[in-house]
């Protein structure tokens, strides 16, 4: 059950990274704050991989087109998901955006139905529960501005992109070295973060140089976000290499209450009774869908 321990460790690390990134959005913008996760996390990812490689002398990585396509798809999906999540946090709140992100698993399950997968009855009930919970979370309050509604949409977009990312990274690890899942996972983290950092550096250098300056000006906070991001990614990747994405995502639901506590403590956010009910329904639905 190593994958459960890894997933449980990834959840608080991811919440900490999101909290640090959220503070950078104001100056660096969502794309600059997204870059922080990957660029400042890359040195830590390389250190983690180095330690794993030393402990796995018999590893036999096999680079293939299947691996390249999977890791590139996962890297692109993760960039889009992170940027959308940061926007959602700014507009809808830290905890609500995290709950909305939990839509990744039911959305991925529904995408699977399109290509021929079959869902059991309790999985369909899980999708329905998650949909109801997300509707409650995203339903605007009386007198609320359009920003909160847009934030909910960005939260759903983040969940969809993360759903694609989870499956892509699992396939990347299996393609690289299925006999050594921890080695394959940490190697995939390094390659993905190198691709993400290069692409975002080039994009921001050409379109938003001020955002780049803001990122490097906040290097202390950026290093903290980078470390938490690299450690969380290593744990997620390793868990995905050891267990199906649905099971990993179900255990990962523990991120939601941690985010609610962090939002209250760090950002003085309070969830209404309606939001707590919606969040609980979403979490229950994710777990039910994961068992399909």
Question: 78 and 189 in contact (C-beta within 8 Å)?
Answer: no
Q: Do 253 and 287 contact (CB within 8 A), yes or no?
A: yes
Calculated CA dihedral for residues 89, 93, 94, 98, nearest 10 degrees:
-80
Read off the pLDDT of each residue in 27-32 and give the average, rounded to a whole number.
Answer: 74
pLDDT of residue 218: 77
Per-residue pLDDT band at 68 (split at 50, 70, 90): very high
According to the model, what pLDDT value does residue 214 have? 82
Count Cβ atoms below 10 Å from residue 31 Cβ, excluding itself: 20
Q: pLDDT tens for residues 132-188?
A: 666 666 555 555 555 556 766 777 788 778 777 877 887 888 899 988 888 988 898
List CB contacts of 178: < 8 A, sequence separation 6 or more: 184
Domain that holds residue 162: 2-290
Reported as a single tens digit per residue, the pLDDT across 87-137 is 777 766 666 666 666 666 666 666 555 545 566 676 667 666 766 666 666
pLDDT, residue 200, reads: 93
Number of domains present in the structure of the chain: 1
Average pLDDT, rounded, for the chain: 76
DSSP-H helix ranges across 103-208: 104-114, 121-138, 146-176, 181-207
pLDDT at 201: 93
Predicted confidence (pLDDT) at residue 11 exceeds the cutoff of 60: yes
pTM for the model: 0.73
Say how many C-beta atoms besides its own lie within 10 A of residue 248's C-beta. 25
Quickly list DSSP for 46-115. Answer: HHHHHHHHHH-TT------HHHHHHHHHHHHHHHHHHHHHHHHHHHH-HHHHHHHHTTHHHHHHHHHHHT
């Amino acid at each position: 059950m190593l994958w459960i321990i890894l997933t449980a460790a990834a959840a608080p690390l991811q919440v900490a990274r999101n909290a640090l990134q959220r503070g950078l959005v104001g100056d660096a913008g969502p794309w600059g704050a997204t870059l922080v996760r990957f660029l400042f996390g890359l040195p830590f990812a390389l250190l983690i991989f180095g330690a794993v490689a030393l402990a796995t002398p018999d590893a036999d990585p096999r680079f293939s087109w299947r691996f390249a396509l999977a890791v590139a798809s996962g890297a692109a999906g993760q960039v889009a998901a992170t940027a959308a999540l940061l926007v959602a946090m700014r507009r809808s709140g830290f905890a609500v955006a995290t709950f909305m992100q939990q839509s990744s698993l039911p959305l991925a399950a529904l995408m699977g139905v399109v290509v021929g997968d079959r869902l059991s009855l309790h999985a369909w009930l899980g999708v329905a529960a998650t949909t109801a919970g997300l509707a409650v979370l995203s339903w605007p309050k009386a007198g609320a501005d359009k920003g909160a509604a847009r934030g909910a949409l960005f939260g759903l977009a983040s969940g969809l992109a993360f759903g694609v990312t989870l499956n892509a990274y699992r396939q990347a690890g299996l393609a690289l070295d299925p006999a050594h899942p921890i080695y394959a996972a940490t190697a995939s983290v390094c390659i993905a973060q190198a691709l993400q950092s290069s692409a975002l550096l080039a994009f921001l250098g050409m379109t938003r140089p001020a955002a780049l300056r803001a990122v490097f000006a906040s290097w202390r906070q950026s290093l903290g976000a980078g470390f938490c991001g690299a450690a969380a990614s290593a744990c997620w990747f390793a868990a995905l290499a050891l267990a199906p994405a649905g099971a990993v995502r179900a255990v990962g639901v523990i991120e939601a209450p941690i985010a609610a506590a962090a939002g209250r403590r760090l950002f003085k956010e309070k969830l209404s009774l309606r939001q707590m009910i919606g969040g609980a329904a979403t979490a229950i639905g994710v777990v039910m869908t994961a068992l399909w």
